[in-house]
């Protein structure tokens, strides 16, 4: 249990956290501004990854692919909002869950229909492979550092967007009082479409970036979606700041738990049993974290509508 291992695992946790933030920020904005539970958010993640894989394969450029992936996710998001989501704002949450769950099925089978059931190939470009040596002789993949950088850049950009621009002002107004900003003459319908497409684009970006590291396949978005929901519940629904802190918290706790819980149990149990118990407990850890936080702060760490 060395210090370099701990540093490396902390970086891994932060990297997982920044990617979760890209997912969670869109989800929390949509929930905060429009009051909509969107289960199909994981599908935008998948759309982004598939579009990036397809365009990267045909152009040979990862960056063009990435741009195409974000654009595709934003377009699909806008279309979904215009065609389906728009009819759901005044419905109860259960209807929203049912309808967006149906969207998951449609997107999954649609993707399988177009691209087939085999996973697609997508890897980071050659100039992002390899690793750097950090202080303490820790070797760390360049691509993961880039992911952390992208996540931080997006977080700053979102902060500026929301606190300094007119669009951000409207988003904040929409969070506090939806009816009133409509009455003040803001085109609510357009605002909703823009926010929804923005969230979808961020999910698509996360899917593309993570897809290059993992695998691009049907159903890749749903496990991340569950984690993203945990993040926004912990952070407080509707709060970007909460999403950022929640994502980092979940990322670090999940990663460190997976490494150190089995080691902890090994101090007083036989190794094979300890890894079994430790791994099972590590899988539950973030949900335990969520339960504890909700017990003390029922609306999450930074509830937007307090």
Partner 1 sequence: MKMISRFGLGLLLSSSVLTAQAEDVKIGMITTLSGGGSHLGVDVRDGFMLALEQSGRDDVEVLIQDDARRPDLARSLSNEFIQRDDVDILTGIIWSNLAMAVVPSVTRQGTFYLSPNAGPSDLAGRMCHENYFNVAYQNDNLHGAMGAYMREEGYERPIIMAPNYPAGTDALAGFKHLYEGEVVGELYTQMGQTDYAAEIAQIRDSDADSLFFFLPGGMGISFMKQWESSGVDMPIFGAAFSFDEILIKAVGSAAIGARNTSLWAYDLENEANASFVEGFQAAYDRLPTLYAAQGYDTANLILSALETAHPDDKDAFREALRAADFDSVRGEFRFGPNQHPIQDIYVREVVEGDDGEPTNRLIGVAIEDIQDVYYEQCEM
Q: Based on the shown chain and the rule CB under 8 A, indicate whether residue 8 belongs to the binding site for partner 1.
A: yes
* Residue 190 CA, distance from chain mean position: 24
Closest to partner 1 by CB, 71 vs 214, is: 214
- Residue of 57, 93, 131, 153 interacting with partner 1 (CB under 8 A): 131
C-alpha span between 217 and 105 (Å, rounded): 14
Q: Based on the shown chain and the rule CB under 8 A, indicate whether residue 59 belongs to the binding site for partner 1.
A: no
Closest by CA to 154, choosing from 23, 12, 10, is 23
**In the chain, what is the straight-line distance between the N-terminal and C-terminal CA atoms, in Å?**
43
Q: Based on the shown chain and the rule CB under 8 A, indicate whether residue 156 belongs to the binding site for partner 1.
A: no
C-alpha span between 211 and 207 (Å, rounded): 5
Closest by CA to 162, choosing from 242, 66, 227, is 242
Q: How far is the CB of 185 from partner 1 (least distance, A)?
A: 45
Closest to partner 1 by CB, 76 vs 261, is: 261
Q: Based on the shown chain and the rule CB under 8 A, indicate whether residue 52 belongs to the binding site for partner 1.
A: no
- Residue of 110, 119, 168, 182 interacting with partner 1 (CB under 8 A): 119
Give the count of beta carbons closer than 10 Å to the beta carbon of residue 172: 17
Residue range at the interface with partner 1 (CB under 8 A); choices 82-90, 127-135, 197-205, 286-294 = 127-135
**Residues forming a β-bridge with 140:** 132
Contact criterion met (CB below 8 Å) for 17 and 224? no
Residues at the site binding partner 1, with contacts judged by CB under 8 A: 2, 5, 8-9, 12, 15-16, 108-109, 112, 117-121, 123-124, 129-131, 139, 141-144, 210, 212-220, 223-224, 255, 258-259, 262, 271-272, 275-276, 279-280, 282-283
């Amino acid at each position: 249990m060395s210090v370099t291992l701990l540093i490396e695992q902390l970086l891994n946790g932060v990297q997982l956290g920044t990617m979760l933030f890209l997912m969670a920020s869109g989800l929390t904005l949509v929930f905060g501004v429009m009051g909509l539970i969107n289960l199909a958010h994981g599908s935008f993640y998948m759309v982004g990854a598939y579009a990036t894989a397809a365009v990267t394969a045909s152009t040979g450029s990862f960056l063009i692919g990435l741009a195409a992936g974000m654009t595709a996710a934003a377009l699909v998001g806008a279309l979904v909002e215009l065609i389906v989501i728009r009819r759901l704002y005044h419905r109860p949450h259960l209807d929203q869950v049912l309808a967006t769950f149906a969207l998951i099925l449609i997107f999954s089978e649609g993707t399988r229909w177009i691209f087939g059931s085999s996973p697609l190939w997508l890897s980071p470009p050659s100039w992002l492979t390899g690793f750097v040596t950090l202080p303490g002789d820790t070797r760390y993949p360049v691509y993961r550092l880039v992911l952390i950088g992208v996540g931080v850049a997006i977080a700053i950009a979102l902060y500026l967007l929301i606190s300094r621009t007119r669009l951000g002002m409207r988003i904040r107004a929409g969070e506090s009082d939806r009816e009133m900003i409509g009455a003040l003459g803001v085109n609510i319908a357009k605002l909703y479409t823009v926010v929804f497409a923005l969230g979808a684009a961020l999910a698509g970006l996360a899917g593309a970036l993570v897809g290059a590291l993992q695998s691009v396949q049907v159903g890749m978005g749903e496990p991340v979606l569950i984690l993203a929901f945990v993040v926004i519940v912990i952070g407080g629904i509707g709060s970007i700041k909460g999403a950022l802190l929640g994502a980092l918290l979940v990322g670090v706790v999940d990663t460190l738990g997976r490494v150190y819980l089995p080691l902890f149990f090994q101090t007083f149990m036989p190794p094979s049993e300890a890894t079994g118990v430790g791994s099972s407990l590590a899988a539950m850890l973030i949900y335990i974290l969520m339960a504890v936080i909700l017990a003390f702060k029922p609306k999450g760490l930074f509830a937007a509508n307090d």
